[in-house]
Homo-oligomer: A and B are copies of this chain.
Amino acid sequence: MSEDTAAVAAHEQQRAPVGKDNGRGISGLLASPAGRNTGLVVALVLLCLGGVVTAGDRFADVDNLLTILRLAAVIGVVSVGMTFVITGGGIDLSVGAIVALSSVWATTLATQGIANDTHWIVIVFTALLVGGACGLVNGALIAYGRVVAFIATLASLAAARGLAEIISNRKTQIVNVPGFAAFFDASVLGVPVLVVIFAAVAVAGWVLLNRTTFGRRTFAVGGNPEAARLAGIDVRRHTVMLYTLLGLCCGLAAVMLVARTTTGSATHGGLYELDAIAAVVIGGTLLSGGRGTIAGTVFGVLIFTTLSNVFTLNNLSISAQAVAKGAIIVVAVLLQQRLARRSGA
């Protein structure tokens, strides 16, 4: 077992050791970030092959691929934020509820008379503000109130959804602000705006996590909070920032969801917590903190969305989908582990 521990430890290196201390040829290549995700890439490719074989050109079609990406966009933005929180040693069960609350609050503004004159950008800012504020509250509860993250965000989950129901009076709020829909329904060089946003968030997230002091501190805080504290990092402030960041992502996801469905609703974001955590963890981010990969998360999200797309194209029953989904998750993880271990050695 300790051998494996060592392998895992090696796998945890953020960058492939380059240069003289590591002339390991192919294995060195495999240990690169692309290599670390080999398993995921293989799983995704297999899935796509499955799609092509079973659904032919209905699957391998630009429109269908854009559909998959559009579906991935909303949960993808949340998952990128979740990667930060989990890497920093936390967890957030309230993401779906925050998405719901943000969507409701933002659309309440938009559906009220006053807002008819205001620009649609107000919706965007409201959602971001509400999301960020929720994240801030979560972070403060966890870092300064010292409530276990699981419980604190479970409480937020209940509270935020309840609040969303109260504000919306449990109705679906339909937005008709014209500029809003127009902006988000547009495409940039054939790529839908939602997908562009997701890509931008992913890239920004990657840079933030891997190229900045903030990201480096996130790894430290998640890996060993006591050591991080003694190294002079303000662990609590950093924790608050992580949850706030995730809250902002949820706010953005809410905007995207409002744009997609033209509605704000207290039922939005149902079970996002599980979907996002699953994508993050299957991507290779350690639930216990200290190790995280945005690329892995993006792959994780794509795997799950492609999966449901392929299922639907094949007209599979929901029950059969569930069974197959379980099996595929396990296979993907096993594959990823085997390949990662080989590349780490």
Residues of B within 8 A of A337 (CB): 146-147
A268 at the A/B interface (Cβ < 8 Å)? no
Residues of B within 8 A of A165 (CB): 318-319, 322
Please state if A151 and B329 are interface contacts (CB–CB under 8 Å).
yes
The count of identical subunits is 2
State the Cβ distance, A211 to closest chain B Cβ, in Å. 27
State the Cβ distance, A143 to closest chain B Cβ, in Å. 10
Please state if B155 and A1 are interface contacts (CB–CB under 8 Å).
no
Which A residues from 128 to 151 make CB contacts under 8 A with B?
A: 141, 145-148, 150-151
Which A residues from 323 to 338 make CB contacts under 8 A with B?
A: 323-327, 329-330, 333-334, 337
Please state if A147 and B326 are interface contacts (CB–CB under 8 Å).
no
State the Cβ distance, A85 to closest chain B Cβ, in Å. 14
Which of the candidate stretches A72-80, A156-164, A190-198, A248-256 sits at the interface with the other chain? A156-164
Known: A146-B4, A319-B166. A281 touches B151 (CB 8 A): yes
Can you show 12 pairs from A to B with CB atoms below 8 A apart?
A5-B226, A150-B287, A151-B281, A154-B274, A154-B329, A155-B325, A155-B329, A158-B326, A162-B323, A162-B325, A166-B319, A288-B288
Which 9 pairs between the two chains have the least Cβ-Cβ distance?
Answer: A162-B322, A159-B326, A165-B319, A162-B323, A155-B326, A155-B329, A158-B326, A162-B319, A158-B322
